Amino acid sequence: MDIVTIVQILDSTLRLATPLLFACLAGIISERAGIFDIGLEGKLLIAAFFSAAYAHYSGSAWIGLGAGVLASVVFSLFHGIASITFRGNQLISGVAINFLASGMTVVIAQSWFRQGGRTPSLTGDQRFPSLDLPGAEAVQGVPVIGQIYGEILTDHGILVYVGLLCVPLTWYVLYRTRFGLRLRAVGENPAAVDTAGVSVVRMRYAAIVIAGVLCGIGGAYLSTSLAAGFVREMSAGRGFIALAAMIFAKWRPWQGLGAVLLFGMLEAIANRFPNLDLGFITLPSQFMTALPYILTVIILAGFVGKAIPPRAGGEPYVKER
Amino acid sequence: MKLTRKFLGATAVLALTTGAALADPALIYDMGGKFDRSFNEMAFTGATRWAEETGGEFRDIELQSEAQREQAIRRFAESGYNPVVMTGFSMATPLEVVAADYPDTTFVIIDGVVDLPNVRSVIFSEQEGSYLVGLLAGMATETDNVSFVGGMDVPLIRAFACGYAQGAVAANEEVNVIVNYTGTTPAAWNDPVRGSEITAAQISQGSDVVFAAAGGTGVGVLQRAVDDGILSIGVDSNQNYLHPGQVLTSMMKRVDNAVYSAFESGPGMETGLHVMDLAAGGVGWADDEHNAELISDEMRAAVSSAQEAIAAGELAVHDYRSDSSCPISVE
Amino acid sequence: MSSKRMPKWADVLLVPILSLIIAFALSALVILAIGEDPVRAMRLMITGALGSTYGWGYTLYFTTNFLLTGLGVSIAFQARLFNIGGEGQALIGGLGVALVCLFIPWPHWSLAIIAAIAASAIFGAVWAAIPAYLQAKRGSHIVITTIMFNFIAFSLMNYMLSHVLRPPTSMDPATARFDNVLRLPRLHDILAPMGIDFSRAGPANVMLFVALLACVLAYFLMWRTRLGFEIRAFGKSEPAAHYAGISGVKIIMVAMLISGALSGMMAVNSVMGGPQRLVMNAVEGAGFIGIAVALMGRSHPIGIIAPALLFGFLFQGGSELALETTIPREMIIIIQALVIMFTGALDNMVRTPLETLFALMRRRT
Amino acid sequence: MVAEVTGGAAAKAAPAIELRGISKAFGPVQANKDINIKVNKGTIHGIIGENGAGKSTMMSILYGFYKADSGEILIDGKPTQITDSQAAISAGIGMVFQHFKLVENFTVLENVILGAEDSERLMPSLNRARKLLTELAAEYELNVDPDALIETLSVGHQQRVEILKALYREANILILDEPTGVLTPAEADHLFRILRGLKEQGKTIILITHKLREIMDVTDEVSVMRRGEMVATVNTAETSPTELAELMVGRKVLLEVEKTPAKPGEVVLSARGLKVVDEFGVERLRSIDLDIRAGEILGVAGVAGNGQSALLEALAGMAAATGEVKMNGEPLDLTLKHSDAGTRRERGVSHVHEDRHRCGLILDFMAWENIAFGYHNAPEYNKNKLLMDNHAILEDAKGKFERFDVRPPNPMLTAESFSGGNQQKIVLAREIERNPDLLLVGQPTRGVDIGAIEFIHKQLIALRDQGKAILLVSVELDEILSLSDRIVVMFDGRIMGERDPETTNAQDLGLMMAGMTGDVA
């Protein structure tokens, strides 16, 4: 594999990892607060649709982003009403949200655009512009740095950088702020938070709204930056890969970045080499596609570093003595 | 028992008469959907043209899943639509079964062959059209690298690739042809993101003209080409308008004509194998106001002489499907 | 607590029916919002799914799928295991059916169906066994592992169909058609000797009766056998089951194996009974609809029959809808989502006011 | 000495807390009925009552967990609305719950500041808390490592963190709910020293307990609750344990159960070197030697959490153990690789689990199904190899309900629709009527009404008189003293010694429960 190929794959990795990153951080925030979120996929999808639709109507990717985030937050609130207010099963609610998104996007898209469940192609300002990092041009000749900074890191849609910035931000919020302390506590022992005079319900709603916003940005990136418009089922399981990445990272943001980069790279490799010839074995692209899931099962099985979820995760909080 | 029989019998009759008036034509799109800007959309265009010209009505349906193929064909046949036209080679197997059950209905399959008396099988000489656009690509490239993004990796798509490669090399012996396919399942027809990433990879390998024969996936290919400032070539329908001035040309596969002619001829049409080649106007290249600036007179002359040679049988473009091989590797 | 506050019939019937009504009402709003007429839509669905033996043939065909996947989800639910992997188990079950039908020259369909049922059940059970084992022995969350296994199954089938099982001459990622001897008798063939004229087209076949039989057998399993007793006890209280000497590992394994086997068996219908060859995505989401069916049927083997029929109707009616209106087929996914939401996650929203109502009524009398 | 503190100026000022006419009902259950109480500033006020007397409901109302149906709360003489925990904290109330409300994988500091952080950034709060902790440690013997993770701390230390949390929030009124249930006597004494120190600083302390000794030792005043009502408030110095006990139960306590002397027979079960290590690697049982004979009740006394549960579960086949245990002379498989609770039943061991809600019953099952629970493999409950005989089980359940006076006598109801006492009777009927050689009984009368207690005690004696062996584990010393023929005391996973109930008393047992072995007979 020559250097150009590697650079290209890493370049592609960064793009493909970005929607995973947003969803993964969303999952981390939500699950750290004790709300299991298998509806990441649905939120990505609904956000992707509304972003593309409103970017098309308004001519501005930013307005599209707003619409996508709003849609994703609304879905988050459904999840909240079911699993926080009515103490329903968070997993079932998540499943329902995924189906709701899958059905709604096509039904609405068909009704609005009559193009078989897709939006018209987006052009110009309807999509996010690429951002050339300062000095990227200048360092292109320099070995290593030139390739990393001048070729891999630069010239991506602006949301790629937003995503990367969200990693330290999430870390800081979780571990260095009052909000983060309470959020983590609410996922470990909500009773402790409740008796400390902090509303568990409010904390959990705050967490899922943030998760909604992050998924919303991820979805907007999918349809208005990575692609140029919405097509049905365009999230294509990315929400679940993000879920896998979250488990892989054991619910920690920096490790989450690592996991999505790994999974993004697997996708990039599968795109580049439908049949990856390793000399002694040829791996079909299907294997690469399945690899994130296989790796996650191995992690879940606890053979390689046990993944312990937040202790109060999945359980509705019922006040008791 | 008698009552049941009467009741069920009555409803069965009802079923046959619900829906539209008898003998309206119907159209079934393959996965990828009616608005894939490509293959299926071409079929829709043909049907619409027929409807507009004749004032007739037709019914159409998009498949959401592999498993629905047989039901879709049956549904139209059962309700008395005639002829029933369908696009895509994947329809061949289910059609074989259903066509036998409805001998009074005429079926048309595009891109597939079903050997039954009530089926018209329409196939195209994609390699010939691809040769022409390959020729243009070979002349347009400045890096001596052109590329191809196929949809599902099947002999049909390899025939596109093979024709394209032959054309490109014919124009410029130095040209290197980079070939990739999106996948091995029908999902490959509808994955613009993957199409875009594959194109990005090809661009990093030096390609400056990319030909997408990948249905809906091609939208992503063309978009990436525009984003990165290289030329692209559309497929099936005329896609020049998608990005005016940036799409070199489109390899036209006149599915619209096939559908139009089937609708036009009606149930009594001549069945059997119909080959739509360059000579018959089945395939060709798009030359319009959107790409006028990109096509030099020299290019136009080269293409038209090749076109004449092929039509006259003087120039044989190798068909990958004939021996599962290609003089230029399209693996 | 719930059982004390409400009569059993209300719990079993009223709550799911009310949830269903809410789900339907919201779906009607969606239909209105996209500028269509919900009443007309409903009428079209009824004519399309139930107005002819042709429609019935498909409705019952889909019902068969949902009976088996719904039953699979139910058995796991009874052991408090959320087997979200019915889709993957059914996909792999289809592989079992295809192998049995393609590579063994059966003299008669009746032998082949037995072998196919066995093979699909084994394949489905094996696919459920790994998540089950990981849950039982390593405590890995079964919901997450079964989701992962759905995707792995999808990739595996994708590979098998495009690289291994596809006949060399075919471009379609599907197996060859099975021998005509293996064609399962359809309702047309079964009812014709009784003098009933049933549409030849509908693919509903003997598997419908197998599925119904499976429901009855599952009822006996759950309510008349020791194993059923143990599964239900484990599902209600894990520590209590341990106290009673019921092995958690055994129950998790057995319940998931049965669940996977039932989901896998669904493939006999959708592969051998339908297109008579294995195509991509032969399951068409039936594994997920099984969740809705189980939730509505309160995970009761007999209780799921009505919701399975309902979803069979929706599935068939929905495809007719797409033909006659601008409402896409995906409308039924919305209905499915709402049913799951209201009968599963928002159960308390429906239940709590009802309980209050019953309490008020009781106080008055 | 105590009375001096109570009198004088403190008593005349407005009470720290006053409840007026507080009532709270949960459905048909009246948990609190017209509660009136005054707690004076700078005192330790005990609240005593049986399980289910309404103590905890009252405290939950005070801490904003429940809203009272009627009544009024006054803090420092001012009517105060306590709508949630935040309001309680603002009113200066700190609560130490029986089950600690700590985040296990947070540090002590993080737990202390949680919910009371000074600013959006954590650092300043953490630094301030660290300083305060050092001060408090010196002042009140409240020393804990501020950076230790909660899960690494002992129970006593965790409780100190709870107190520190309250003090960090500048609580003036500290409520402790059953604080010594999980403590050793030494730890409890330490706690009481802390409480006295806090009182001297002017804090008001409410101590909820059902242990008379603690009330007598540390409180200034005591209020007694019974069946949701506040029946009396008295000066501790002016009352006696007997009087309090009477007030608690509403009649003379039946300390003695009528029974004839035991006629011990053969050894039914003998254990040597029995050890249990739990899933976290903690040694729960440290080499127990034990013999139980036919026709006797062996009582196991001890503070909760000293290995009694592990002992029961090891013998019942619920927890793996090492060592040697013989049942009727035959060894038992303790590894549980070849046996479980079911095979143990086949060997003649029946088990009334100490937690009937979690283990003893399946609350969602119908009562008749619960009758077969654990014995569902028994031949009389099965028609053949495949099918159970539900009719036979139902008939059997009807008989059992009659003999054990279960009310209502309808086995078609779900188990959860029965009262605590009747649920326990269902469990006992199931386990006793299997005619076991050995009956393991944990906390037989926990959460059971007085009438049922008597009935249950009689049943246990009757089983003993049939020549069966009974191992009785209870945290109620009275129960142990009145039922047992021999008593062993457990502490920290060990047996501290054996006593004859005729010659021992609560003090003697209490010493051993605290781990003091000076006078082993």
D460 with D495, same domain? yes
User: What number of helices (H) and strands (E) belong to chain D?
Assistant: 18, 20
**pLDDT grade, residue B22 (50/70/90)?**
low
Structure tokens at C286: 């039936």
Domain boundary among D154, D170, D186: D170
Domain hosting B270: range is 10-124+255-276
D125 with D177, same domain? no
D498 with D356, same domain? yes
**Mean pLDDT computed over C208-235:** 96
**B33–A274 C-beta distance less than 8 A:** no
pLDDT above 70: residue B4? no
D355 with D461, same domain? yes
**Chain C residues inside the 8 Å CB shell of A89:** 82, 344-345
User: Is beta strand D349-352 parallel, antiparallel or unpaired with respect to D438-442?
Assistant: parallel
D289 with D334, same domain? yes
* Predicted pLDDT of residue D235: 92
D30 with D134, same domain? no
B271 with B175, same domain? no
Helix segments in B110-216, DSSP class H = 126-140, 155-171, 192-204
Q: Which of D353, D362, D382 sits opposite C236 (nearest CB)?
A: D362
* Predicted pLDDT of residue A251: 94
pLDDT above 60: residue B67? yes
Domain hosting D121: range is 105-170
- Asked if residues D488 and D497 have their Cβ atoms less than 8 Å apart, the reply is yes
pLDDT above 90: residue B144? yes
Residue D423 maps to a domain: no
**Chain B residues inside the 8 Å CB shell of A117:** 33
Placement of tokens 């130490």 in the chain:
D96
Residue D208 maps to a domain: yes
Q: Which of A4, A236, A271 sits opposite B198 (nearest CB)?
A: A271
- Asked if residues D438 and D292 have their Cβ atoms less than 8 Å apart, the reply is yes
* Predicted pLDDT of residue B187: 82
Query: What does the pLDDT look like over D42-92, one tens digit per residue?
Result: 999 999 877 667 888 888 899 888 888 999 999 998 999 998 888 999 999
Domains of chain A (ranges, CATH numbers):
3-303 (1.10.3470)
Angle subtended by helix axes A238-248 and A200-221, to nearest 10? 120
- Is the minimum CB–CB distance between C197 and chain B shorter than 8 Å? yes
B113 with B215, same domain? no
Chains that touch D (3 or more CB pairs under 8 A): A, C
B111 with B190, same domain? no
B212 with B263, same domain? no
In whole angstroms, what is the distance from residue C273 CA to residue C190 CA? Answer: 14
Domain boundary among D170, D185, D201: D170
Query: Chain C interface, mutation test: which of D29, D346, D350, D362, most C Cβ atoms within 10 Å?
Result: D362
Percent of chain C with pLDDT strictly greater than 70: 98
B82 with B23, same domain? yes
* Predicted pLDDT of residue A154: 82
A306: CB partners within 8 A, 6+ apart: none
Domains of chain C (ranges, CATH numbers):
1-36+330-365 (no CATH), 60-325 (1.10.3470)
B142 with B242, same domain? yes
- Is the minimum CB–CB distance between A271 and chain B shorter than 8 Å? yes
B120 with B266, same domain? yes
Neighbours of B100 (CB within 10 A): 13
D83: CB partners within 8 A, 6+ apart: D64, D67
Percent of chain C with pLDDT strictly greater than 90: 73
| Contact present, B and D (at least 3 Cβ pairs less than 8 Å) | no
Amino acid identity for residue B272 in this structure? G
Q: Provide the Cα torsion B46, B47, B49, B52; round to 10°.
A: 180
**A195–D101 C-beta distance less than 8 A:** yes
**pLDDT grade, residue D7 (50/70/90)?**
very low
* Predicted pLDDT of residue A305: 66
Closest residue on chain C to B155 (Cα)? C171
Query: What does the pLDDT look like over D310-324, one tens digit per residue?
Result: 999 999 999 999 999
Alpha-carbon distance A126 to nearest alpha carbon in chain C (angstroms): 24
Residue B53 maps to a domain: yes
Q: Which of A111, A240, A301 sits opposite C34 (nearest CB)?
A: A111
What total of structural domains would you count in chain D? 3
Q: Which of A176, A194, A319 sits opposite D122 (nearest CB)?
A: A176
**Mean pLDDT computed over D445-463:** 85
**B 287-306 residues with CB below 8 A of A?**
none
In whole angstroms, what is the distance from residue D248 CA to residue D48 CA? Answer: 7
Please state, rounded to an integer, the average pLDDT across all residues of chain D.
86
**pLDDT grade, residue C105 (50/70/90)?**
very high
* Predicted pLDDT of residue D248: 75
Q: Which of C140, C163, C326 sits opposite A300 (nearest CB)?
A: C140
**pLDDT grade, residue D250 (50/70/90)?**
low
Angle subtended by helix axes B192-204 and A3-32, to nearest 10? 150
Alpha-carbon distance A320 to nearest alpha carbon in chain C (angstroms): 15
Give residue ranges of D with CB < 8 Å to any C CB.
Answer: 27, 316-318, 340-345, 351, 353, 355, 358-365, 369, 372-374, 376-377, 382, 386-388, 390, 414, 416-417
- Report which of residues D477 and B323 the model is more confident about: B323
Amino acid identity for residue A122 in this structure? L
Query: What does the pLDDT look like over D168-188, one tens digit per residue?
Result: 998 999 999 888 877 776 788
* Predicted pLDDT of residue D6: 43
**Chain A residues inside the 8 Å CB shell of D106:** 184-185, 188
Helix segments in chain C, DSSP class H = 2-5, 8-9, 15-33, 38-50, 53-78, 86-103, 109-138, 142-159, 187-191, 207-224, 226-236, 238-243, 248-267, 286-296, 305-324, 331-340, 347-364
C187: CB partners within 8 A, 6+ apart: C53, C56, C57, C60, C198, C202, C204, C205, C208
Percent of chain D with pLDDT strictly greater than 70: 93
D204 with D164, same domain? no
Q: Which of A88, A98, A289 sits opposite C345 (nearest CB)?
A: A88
**Chain C residues inside the 8 Å CB shell of D377:** 226
Residue D417 maps to a domain: no
D166 with D178, same domain? no
CB-count exposure of residue D431 (10 Å: 0-12, 13-18, 19+): buried
Q: Which of B34, B197, B219 sits opposite A16 (nearest CB)?
A: B197
Residue D256 maps to a domain: no
Closest residue on chain C to B13 (Cα)? C52
* Predicted pLDDT of residue C1: 37
B191 with B302, same domain? yes
Residue B331 maps to a domain: no
* Predicted pLDDT of residue D475: 79
**Which of the listed ranges A134-143, B181-190, C82-91, D480-489 does the model predict with the highest average pLDDT?**
C82-91
Which CATH number does the domain housing residue B145 bear? 3.40.50.2300
**A185–D119 C-beta distance less than 8 A:** no
* Predicted pLDDT of residue A258: 96
pLDDT above 60: residue D505? yes
Residue B289 maps to a domain: no
B167 with B28, same domain? no
SS3 sequence of chain A: CCHHHHHHHHHHHHHHHHHHHHHHHHHHHHHHCCCCCCCHHHHHHHHHHHHHHHHHHHCCHHHHHHHHHHHHHHHHHHHHHHHHHCCCCHHHHHHHHHHHHHHHHHHHHHHHHCCCCCCCCCCHHHCCCEECCCCHHHHCCCCCHHHHHHHHHCCEEHHHHHHHHHHHHHHHHHHHEHHHHHHHHHHHCHHHHHHCCCCHHHHHHHHHHHHHHHHHHHHHHHHHHHCCCCCCCCCCCHHHHHHHHHHHCCCCHHHHHHHHHHHHHHHHHHHHCCEEECCCCEEEHHHHHHHHHHHHHHHHCCCCCCCCCCCCCCCCCCCCC
* Predicted pLDDT of residue A320: 63
Residue B288 maps to a domain: no
* Predicted pLDDT of residue D43: 94
Alpha-carbon distance C310 to nearest alpha carbon in chain B (angstroms): 19
In whole angstroms, what is the distance from residue D459 CA to residue D463 CA? Answer: 6
Buried b / exposed e along D453-484 (16+ C-beta atoms within 10 A): bebbbebbbebbeebbbbbbbbbbbebbbbbb
Nearest to D48 by CA among D234, D264, D186: D234
Structure tokens at D258: 């009528």
B171 with B105, same domain? no
Query: What does the pLDDT look like over B153-175, one tens digit per residue?
Result: 889 999 999 999 999 999 999 99
Residue D232 maps to a domain: yes
Alpha-carbon distance D283 to nearest alpha carbon in chain C (angstroms): 21
- Report which of residues C88 and D28 the model is more confident about: C88
What total of structural domains would you count in chain B? 2
Domain boundary among D116, D135, D170: D170
**Mean pLDDT computed over C175-187:** 92
B311 with B195, same domain? yes
**Mean pLDDT computed over C300-308:** 95
* Predicted pLDDT of residue D254: 52
Closest residue on chain A to C146 (Cα)? A297
Residue D401 maps to a domain: no
- Poorest-confidence range of A147-151, B140-144, C315-319? A147-151
Placement of tokens 């068996």 in the chain:
C265
Residue B44 maps to a domain: yes
**Mean pLDDT computed over D494-498:** 90
In whole angstroms, what is the distance from residue A297 CA to residue B97 CA? Answer: 42
pLDDT tens per residue, chain A (321 residues)? 688 888 889 999 999 999 999 999 999 999 999 999 999 999 999 999 999 999 999 999 999 999 999 999 999 999 999 999 999 999 999 999 999 999 999 999 988 998 878 898 888 889 998 888 888 878 877 878 888 887 888 888 999 999 999 999 999 999 999 999 999 999 999 999 998 889 999 999 999 999 999 999 999 999 999 999 998 889 989 999 999 999 989 999 999 999 999 999 999 988 888 778 888 888 888 888 888 899 888 888 877 666 778 888 888 888 764
Tell me the CA distances in angstroms from C240 to B182, C237, D304, D396, one per residue in order.
54, 5, 21, 21
**pLDDT grade, residue D259 (50/70/90)?**
confident
Q: Which of D63, D104, D121 sits opposite A189 (nearest CB)?
A: D104
Residue B328 maps to a domain: no
* Predicted pLDDT of residue C5: 66
D29 with D112, same domain? no
Amino acid identity for residue B263 in this structure? F
Which CATH number does the domain housing residue D464 bear? 3.40.50.300
D126 with D184, same domain? no
Query: What does the pLDDT look like over B315-329, one tens digit per residue?
Result: 999 999 998 899 988
Angle subtended by helix axes C347-364 and C15-33, to nearest 10? 130
Alpha-carbon distance B245 to nearest alpha carbon in chain A (angstroms): 14
**Chain C residues inside the 8 Å CB shell of D416:** 1, 3-4
**pLDDT grade, residue B13 (50/70/90)?**
very low
In whole angstroms, what is the distance from residue A110 CA to residue A112 CA? Answer: 6
**pLDDT grade, residue D209 (50/70/90)?**
confident
Closest residue on chain A to B188 (Cα)? A271
**pLDDT grade, residue C162 (50/70/90)?**
confident
- Asked if residues D480 and D299 have their Cβ atoms less than 8 Å apart, the reply is yes
* Predicted pLDDT of residue D520: 43
C357: CB partners within 8 A, 6+ apart: none
- Report which of residues A211 and D420 the model is more confident about: A211
Closest residue on chain A to C285 (Cα)? A99
B139 with B230, same domain? yes
